[in-house]
Every structure is written in structure tokens, then in C-alpha cells.
Structure 1
Amino acid sequence: MKSPTMRLPFHRSAALLGALALTLVACTSDEDRQSAEDVDVPEPQVPYDPEPVSVQAPAEDAEVDDVQFPTHLSDRISVDPAWDTPPQVHDGVFLAPREQEGKLVFSAVGAEGTLLWTAERPLSGSGFTVTAADDRPLAVLTDLDNQNETDESAGVNAATAYDLHTGEEVWGPVEIPGPHQGPGLVFAEQDDESVDSTGRQVALDSATGEPSEEDSHIIGEFFGTLVFTDGNELVASTDRQTNELWRTTVPEDLTHEATEEIVSPSTNRLPPGSALIGLPEQGYGLWDITEGELLKGDLDDAMFDLMSETWVGVREEELVGFDLNGEQVWSEELSAEAQLLGVGGVMAYVLTEKDELRTYNTVTGSTTRLYDPLEEGTAAIPLAFTDRGATAVDTGTELLLVTDTSRPTEDYAEDETSIDADP
């Protein structure tokens, strides 16, 4: 049986691949660098208020007349938070910025569609992440220490943590060496001589904002757990590396590489307690970082379906599903260069090299048709999910939030009346 597919507009697929890039490695030619030198100096930043503002009001309803949702999301209320980049999500809250009047405005939106709080930052302060400290969900935003002055040449050099639900300040601002690098609370100094490398690197303690020791290679900070290398060992700890959770020998397939080359994708799309660790060119291992156990090796990417509790991974030209213990339960052949866009609601969304969207059942691996072939409109692609089904989607031109709240039944009656009234 041929897999159901949906072709995507070029602008959508290009935007998705850029937004969901898993590394910060830049491939820039000498000609590009020369062109960059000719770029005009940015205009001075506009004034902004860095303090979060509590809103606690419904987000604006989304215009969805020309949008086609997966069938299981079509009866939900959708809102438009006006995000410009895909949101990060934790503990039922989505967070992302938008550009507005020469500055960034971050918006935290609950799964039911409530705009919880907003915070302004300069355009250079686009780095952000979500994390946790002692089970308290946090949003961490970057800023300038000379905020609201006209000179932005110092770059982003401060970070502040806020309660993800309320916007209440928890710690900061604290000094950081440079922009957000990720995953989690990892920041690095930009290397002036090369766009492909970074200088001094630190990870902040999620509970206090204190920086980690600087004599270790940091792999990432994952919701309060710091993972780094110590010689030929992987180590996980909390409290600025003082509270060691576990340590284990670096896997054999990585021992021939310098441990400083071992990384985790900069955009962590996995739930707390897990991480991808390895080398982009050779593949990643999926780790349970609460116990220090390798669940699955040799993966290009992986995501977790909260509803079915199934892992879905990409391995060369294969899509695989495996259980909580890392046991493979199904596999399906993929085309080369396929991209895993999102996993949630018992579905995996894959973009093929021909810009076609394919959907797979996460439990069985079978292909399925989620979009009504008789409907018209741009397909909304799910990107981020909560355990109750709220979903951030990309329509190609907008990033919307499909809430976990169903539309009132009278809405359906109005739709049917409108359809019957058409000549």
C-alpha cells in the first residue's frame, strides 16, 4: 500500500527545515563572509521593558478558514499567539517570541489558550529556553547588561529565569559569555576568527543561575540535569556539577573521537529525563539521563509520543518505533534525507526529500491519512505537543496553537448552516 502523502509548498518546507535545524554548525563560504562584511551596521535598538507583564487573558482567536488541520485536531479551538519561531513547550506552557516595532516580544501561552505573560527583549536577545529547577518549570531569556542603551555592540551577555506559568523572576540577571547555544542553559562565547566554532562555554545551574566549572566539556543542560565529559567518561550532575548522579564510560563507537567533539542537538525536543548524545556525522545515542542508560544507538533524530509512550526515531533511510526500554517494535523504509517534523497524538509527521508530508501511526508504524482529501486549504503541520493534546502547528505562514479545548457544539451548527446556504 502506498503511503498517503501531501505535498508542501516550497516556502513551508524550507522554513521548517531551517527552524528545526538540530545543530548550530554554520556552513559559510568565503564569499558569504565577504558579503557579511559589507552589511550595514544595524540601527540602534528601540527602548524596551524587560520585566514580564502578567496578562492572564485569552489569546487572540486564529483565522483558520484556509487552514486544513489533521482530523483529530479539527474540533479544537485555535489561537494565534503571533509567534515568529516555533515554540518550546514544558508543563503545559508554550513559549516563543515575535518581532514587534523593532523589538522581540515573548509570549507564554497555556494549553487551554490563555496568554499568561509577555516580556520584551532587544532583537539581539532572541536566545531562550525552558528548563526546570526542583520540578518548578522555568523560562530563561537572554538580555543585554546595558539594556535600553543605544549601543548593542556588546551583544547578548545576561540571562534571567522566570516562572514559566506566572513570569515571576526566579534568578538573574547573571552574566553569560555569549549567546544561547543549547541544549538547555548552555551559553558560549562567539569565536571572532571562525563562524564555525565557539569560545568559552558555560552551563547555568537551573536552580540558582550559577555557572558550571569551565574545565569540562559540556554536552547540555536538560531540565536541571547537566551532562558533560570527564576524560573518557560521560557524567551527569546537578548543582553546578557538585551533585553527581552517574558516570559511565563513553560508548565504544565514540572513543576514537575527542570527547570535546561529543554533542547533543542544540534544540532539545525530548521530554525531561532523556537526551540525544553523539556526533552529528555519525549519529546519536538516545540516553535515559536519570539512570545513565543508553536506550538506542545509531539515530539521526528521535522524538517521543506522550500519548502512546512510544519513541520514534530516524536511522539513515528508516523510521523506527521502540518502547520505553529501547526495544524496537516496528520499522518503515524512508526516502533519503527525510526529516522528522513532529511526534504526538499517536502520529509521527515526516517530510520527505520531495517535500511530501507523510504521517505514521506511532504504535504500529502504519501510514495513515490525517487530512481530509475533500477539504481545501493549507495543511497545518504539528510541531510541539502537550500530554493532553494541545499542539503548536505551522501553516506555512503562521504558527498557531491548537488548544486542548473543544469548540462549542453551536460552532458546528453554524458551519453546517453556512454550507447549506451556499448556492
Structure 2
Amino acid sequence: MQQRRNTAYSPGWLAGLALAGLLTLSACGNTDEQTLPQYDPAPSVLETPAPEVDRQTFRLPLQFTDPPVVDPGWQTPPQYGDGVFLSAEHAEDVLTFRAVDSSGTLLWEADRPLSCTGFTITSHDDLHYAVLTDIDAEVQSLGNTVASAYDLHTGELAWGPIDVPGPHNGPGTVFAAPTEQAMGASDAKVVLDPASGDIIVNEREHKVKVLGEFHGTVLTVDAQAIQAHRAADLATGGLEAEPLWTVPLEDHGWTAENLTARSPVGLPDPSEAATSPAVLLGTDDTDRALVDLTSAEVLAEGLSDAGQDPTSQSWVMLGETLTGYGPTGQILYDEPNDGLEVRGIGAAMAYLENSDGDLEARNVVTGQIGRAYDPDDTGTLAVPTGITATGAGILEAEGRYYLATVPTVEQPEPEEP
């Protein structure tokens, strides 16, 4: 595995470039030339409380009447893994990623150029990583993209920088160079091994289409079938390794060209899930199948959206109907769907937006509409986008993201025998 040391980590190199003022580059996802911003990409350990918000300025859900709500400065939707949230804010031409635990403690932060917005959280065994992109400043063109993985809890470098063909494409550790085609199009994708950063699938070399990497499970598709592989198996045996499962495209009437995969709504974390993780597969955003990632069992079809409550393990699914499923697959309720959209889910509640733009809270087990907010409250509406099994929640308000915290539980000291 070839790794490049990124000299953007050197303060002296940054100062020299700033003085020169003449060098330009194409940074991560931006194809326009721009001056390299001054930034320090090496993570800095913080271990300080995030500032609390003034609760009176927000209309908070009744579920979050008591816990402190903090403002980490996030301006992009956070991702979550193993009790830690990660997102970023931007100031001028620098993007600052911050990792925050469920108690509201700022763990670490790292800077990137503003155009390096793509990031992901992945895992290998019991370790969770934040994967960030950066500019490889050693190459002559000053425009290549690299990816590095950091321990999600400490910010310590796990692997990288690794050369990748372009910015983060996703889902998971998937990267691709942008093309001059229609917006959103990309060149051949590669998948990085969450454990090492090695490229384990390359679309150009392997003649498959990459659908995504989901915490160590890699989905690919060719003209005949979808396959799921463990990233660890691909690292040792390539695509010749025995897949976890294979599903013929003809079973669903899908075509490889338009097939995509995405995670359900919420804060998925395999380390906390009592049931198997799932993915939404399909060629049409209104007709997707919810598929178990470990077994390929189809949990439901004809869906536009779905979300799982980590507390009860119940599913809320939207298709022609609004349907609730229990953790063992039993139907809990089934009623007409009048243009609903899942905005967030967790703590036994699903927050749905109707066709009029109004928000309603549904009990995920009974389907009954509950009261989400105190009608006497004023201020900016804060909408839960995901709530963990422990009760920590992400709240979105006017394009910023806040964290409703849960207290740290002190573990008792083990008694001496």
C-alpha cells in the first residue's frame, strides 16, 4: 500500500505558500482553481464542554424538555457511531470538523479546506473511524485528494493519508473523481478498506458498480446481480471471495445502471443495534426495497422512505401506506400515506412532515399522533433528525445542528474479591 505524507501538515510549508500567494490548486471536490487556505489538518484534542444554547430561543420537542442542548457549531448533517457525533462548520474558506460525545463534550477537531466537505464514519471490529479528505500537497499539481481515518473518540490517526481519485462519494468509504457530465455524476469509484485504507474495489479494474460501504459491508452490482462482501474478505481475496449473499437483479426488475443504495433515516450504528442493519435499494426513489444487510432478507418493498427506532427496534415505513413493523416483522399499523416524509426517528417517536409542511409526531409502536411541542412555546422550531438508543438527539433548526445531550453514567468500581 502506497501512502503519501501530506506536507499540508507542516506549519512552515503553509506559511511559505501563504507568502508566495501565487500557487493555486483544485481542492477535493472543487474543480475551480483557488488559493490554498491556511489551516491545520492535524486533529486537536479538546475535551471541553460544548456551549449550551439558550433554550428560550427554540421550540424544543417535549422529549427534550430537560436535557441540556449544546451548540457544537455544526452546519452539515452529523453522522454518528459508538456514542460520538461528527459534523463540521465553515468559516470563510476553512471547514472545521468536530467530534462530540453524547454528554456534549467536544472531543477533538480538525480543519480542512472548505471544498473538502465529504466525510464518513465507518468501523472495523469494535473500532470506529472518522474518514476525512484533504489535499495532497506533495504532488506537483497540488491538486490530488487524499483520505485519512482517525479514531472517532480520540482523533488519533489510524491510517492515511491515502491517495484517492477524488472527493468522498459515499455511501461509506467510497471515493470518485467528478466528471464534466451532469451534476452529481462521477468517474469510476473506489472503495477503501475501513481497517487499512487500502483500495479493495476499483470500478475501472473490477468491472462492477459500487453501491456503497456500510460499516464494513460492501455492496456491488454487475449486469446480473447484487453482491454483499465483508470488507475484510475483499482485502484478502478480492471479488473472488465468497460473498455474504447474492441477489439477482431480475428478482426485483432492477437494472444495474440506475440502482442506488442508501441508509434509512436516523442514526444507524451497528454496535448498538439489536437487529441487523438494513439498506434501501432501488432504481426509483418512490419504489425501494428495505433489505437486511446481513442476510438479504427483504423487509419491505415499494418504499419511498424508512426509519428504525433504536429504542424499540420498530420500523416506520412509507410507501403507498404508512406502516409500522415490530422488530420481529409483525405489522403494528397500516394506514394511508398522504405525502408524508420521515424527518427523524428515535425514543419511540417518528417525526413526519406532511404535504402541507407541518410536522407531526407518531408513536412508532402504535402509530398514534402525539403532541410533539408545547403550543405555548415560541422561538425557532428545532426538529429531531435522529435520536440514539441512549436518548441523545440531533436537532436541526434553520440549517444548523444542535445536540440534546444525555448525562455521563459513572461506572461503579469493581469490588475486590
TM-score strictly above 0.5: yes
- Whether the 8 Å CA contact 1:236–1:244 is kept in 2: the answer is no
Structure-2 residue corresponding to 1:163: 151
Please say if 1:132 is aligned against 2:119: no
**TM-aligned CA distance change 1:251 to 1:367, over 3 Å:** farther
Moved more, 372-381 or 201-210: 372-381
Determine the C-alpha separation between the residues in 2 that align with 1:41 and 1:274: 38
Please list, as runs of the form range in 1=range in 2, the aligned pairs for 1:268-279 lying within 5 A after superposition: 269=266, 270-272=268-270, 273-279=277-283
- Whether the 8 Å CA contact 1:310–1:321 is kept in 2: the answer is yes
Alignment identity in percent?
36
- Whether the 8 Å CA contact 1:268–1:275 is kept in 2: the answer is no
- Whether the 8 Å CA contact 1:85–1:399 is kept in 2: the answer is yes
SS in 2 for 1:372: coil
Please say if 1:63 is aligned against 2:32: no
Structure-1 residue corresponding to 2:244: 246
Determine the C-alpha separation between the residues in 2 that align with 1:235 and 1:326: 24
List alignment gaps of at least 5 residues for structure 1: 1-38, 407-423
Determine the C-alpha separation between the residues in 2 that align with 1:372 and 1:108: 31
Determine the C-alpha separation between the residues in 2 that align with 1:267 and 1:358: 19
- Using the TM superposition, give the Cα deviation of residue 124 of structure 1 relative to its aligned residue in structure 2, in angstroms: 1.1
- Whether the 8 Å CA contact 1:320–1:330 is kept in 2: the answer is yes
- Whether the 8 Å CA contact 1:181–1:266 is kept in 2: the answer is no
Match of 1:400 among 399, 402, 414: 402
- Using the TM superposition, give the Cα deviation of residue 251 of structure 1 relative to its aligned residue in structure 2, in angstroms: 5.1
Please list, as runs of the form range in 1=range in 2, the aligned pairs for 1:167-206 lying within 5 A after superposition: 167-206=155-194
TM-score by length of 1: 0.80
**TM-aligned CA distance change 1:356 to 1:268, over 3 Å:** closer
Please say if 1:319 is aligned against 2:322: yes
- Using the TM superposition, give the Cα deviation of residue 191 of structure 1 relative to its aligned residue in structure 2, in angstroms: 1.5
Match of 2:391 among 385, 389, 397: 389
Structure-2 residue corresponding to 1:348: 350
SS in 1 for 2:367: coil
Please say if 1:122 is aligned against 2:113: yes
Determine the C-alpha separation between the residues in 2 that align with 1:47 and 1:307: 43
Please list, as runs of the form range in 1=range in 2, the aligned pairs for 1:80-95 lying within 5 A after superposition: 80-95=71-86
Determine the C-alpha separation between the residues in 2 that align with 1:173 and 1:202: 15
Match of 1:98 among 89, 94, 100: 89
- Using the TM superposition, give the Cα deviation of residue 187 of structure 1 relative to its aligned residue in structure 2, in angstroms: 1.2
Determine the C-alpha separation between the residues in 1 that align with 2:179 and 2:31: 21
Match of 1:364 among 366, 371, 384: 366
SS in 1 for 2:323: strand
List alignment gaps of at least 5 residues for structure 2: 1-29, 271-276, 409-417
**TM-aligned CA distance change 1:162 to 1:234, over 3 Å:** same
| CA deviation map 1:234-255 (0-9, x unaligned) | 2111226235342223254533
- Whether the 8 Å CA contact 2:56–2:378 is kept in 1: the answer is no
- Whether the 8 Å CA contact 1:212–1:240 is kept in 2: the answer is no
SS in 2 for 1:82: strand
TM-score by length of 2: 0.81
Structure-1 residue corresponding to 2:11: none
Structure-2 residue corresponding to 1:283: 287
Determine the C-alpha separation between the residues in 2 that align with 1:391 and 1:55: 21
**Which letter maps to 2:246?**
T
- Whether the 8 Å CA contact 2:258–2:283 is kept in 1: the answer is yes
Structure-2 residue corresponding to 1:235: 227
Determine the C-alpha separation between the residues in 2 that align with 1:400 and 1:96: 10
Instruction: Provide the aligned length of Structure 1 versus Structure 2.
Output: 362
- Using the TM superposition, give the Cα deviation of residue 394 of structure 1 relative to its aligned residue in structure 2, in angstroms: 1.1
**TM-aligned CA distance change 1:40 to 1:297, over 3 Å:** closer
- Using the TM superposition, give the Cα deviation of residue 231 of structure 1 relative to its aligned residue in structure 2, in angstroms: 4.2
- Whether the 8 Å CA contact 1:45–1:103 is kept in 2: the answer is no
Determine the C-alpha separation between the residues in 1 that align with 2:178 and 2:213: 19
